[in-house]
Amino acid sequence: MRARMLDLLSAAQHGGYAVGAFNVYNLEGVQAVIAAAEAESSPVILQIHPKALLHGGAPLIVLCQTAADEARVPAAVHLDHSASAEAIERALHLGITSVMADGAGLSYADNVIFSRAMVALAHKHGASVEAELGQISGTEDDLVVAENDARLTDPAQAVEFVNETGLDALAVCIGNVHGQYRGEPQLDLARLAEIRRRVSVPLVLHGASGLKEQHIREAIRLGVCKFNVNTELRQAYLTAARSALTGAKPADLSDLIAAVVAAVKTVVLDKLRLFASGGKA
């Protein structure tokens, strides 16, 4: 059943677990995410990255919405990391009920202006907005942020940002990165705890691929109720596809599809169990 992301996050915030938000690019990715969520009886979020939206357009949004409608668990459809007002408006007109207004690469003042405008636009459509304060380093599709350009979320400024924009969920930067972590992840959990103490909106952590179980558990305890996962899904998909294509027996297309769906589903299952969302549908 299609759900609203903010409803899923509110339930997670009060229930002491987190909802997994998984980036999808095609039918196989969508099938894997929904199948895993149904197997775990878990709520889930299908996320569309701007690069995926550029490629798939309106049909990709409709695909995700249809899959969410037919799912046996609550499933939301969310536009991820969009710095384009035009893309956000288009997604809202197509029925998406939550978007990430990504002004993290702007100055603080411009981030406030952009996020506030997108909140006003989304709320007119009855949709919610996730925005980011600070900036996460790393690479996700064609989005690249160098380590020396990354900025951690300031807890005091977070209060101001939430109040000035009216956002519905806050993505925080506490040492998390997009893509692969170089060495052991170093999360500033004290910073996260202070942000949670100061703001009441649901908190989001991007870059969940590669985080250890103890990082996930502690982040949930300190108030994170949405984790974004992308890199590990893409890796599983491509590894399964390469294996099918280079095996001793030439792969039939249907066999390749089944292989990639199974591989991505396995990753999603592992994450849902880490996020403690099983049985919360």
Among all residues, which ones are annotated catalytic? 80
Please, are residues 125 and 156 in contact by the beta-carbon 8 Å criterion? no
3-state helix, strand, coil in the chain (%, to 5): 50, 20, 30
Please, are residues 225 and 241 in contact by the beta-carbon 8 Å criterion? no
Please, are residues 68 and 97 in contact by the beta-carbon 8 Å criterion? no
What beta strand segments (E) does 56-213 contain?
A: 75-82, 98-101, 128-133, 138-140, 143-145, 169-172, 203-205
**d(C-alpha 99, C-alpha 259), whole Å:** 31
For residue 240, what are its two tokens?
Answer: 């399964």
